[in-house]
A and B are shown apart, each in its own frame.
Chain A
């Protein structure tokens, strides 16, 4: 069975600080990896995804993530966060089918 670990549960940053959220997964086969974001009071939206090719993927709003197969990791990064990035971030993985397995999420608060 696949599983996802997000080690940072709550992160507080000042505007313009750099962001890196950790994500590690466990699965024995080929995986597809996703980062979703949930802004306060809204539903989940896709930030970016990786399924093949260049392990450095770029998403919306200046986010990027790097797939490191040897470390089973897919960390999310942003060079300079904004107050509007305050949200909950979820890493997720699919294996052989469509079943998404989510991590427990990271609450990011960006202070002015």
Chain B
């Protein structure tokens, strides 16, 4: 199993540009989520999904969009990038029960100029 994969690993954007961060998992996990990691703030939940066709907002959803058309994929879209979105983004997946371990991808380091 590849686990959780994310592309790209690094990205530089200009303010106002849009882009999609890709996330895929091959473990047939129902639950998938996106976090951003900023120094001194830990990881904060952006959006999550409990299954194909179902998404919901996390703690910091503004400026981001998600969709879940398949169990495997959970892309994160930045609609109009801002410097405040410079961060490291992690995708995670797990089976649905709350005590299950979440498996994290390798992350995407995004810089918005």
Contact = CB atoms under 8 A, between A and B. Distances in A.
Q: Is chain B a partner of chain A in the same complex? A: yes
Interface of A: 4, 6, 9, 32, 34, 36, 42-46, 49, 51-52, 90, 94-105
Contacts of A96: 98
Interface stretch (B65-73, B76-84, B99-107): B99-107
Interface residues of B, number: 26
Contacts of B100: 98
B24 to A, nearest CB: 15
25 contacts: A32-B99, A42-B106, A43-B105, A43-B106, A44-B43, A45-B104, A51-B98, A52-B99, A90-B42, A94-B98, A97-B50, A98-B48, A98-B94, A98-B96, A98-B98, A98-B102, A99-B58, A100-B45, A100-B92, A101-B45, A102-B42, A103-B42, A104-B40, A104-B41, A105-B42
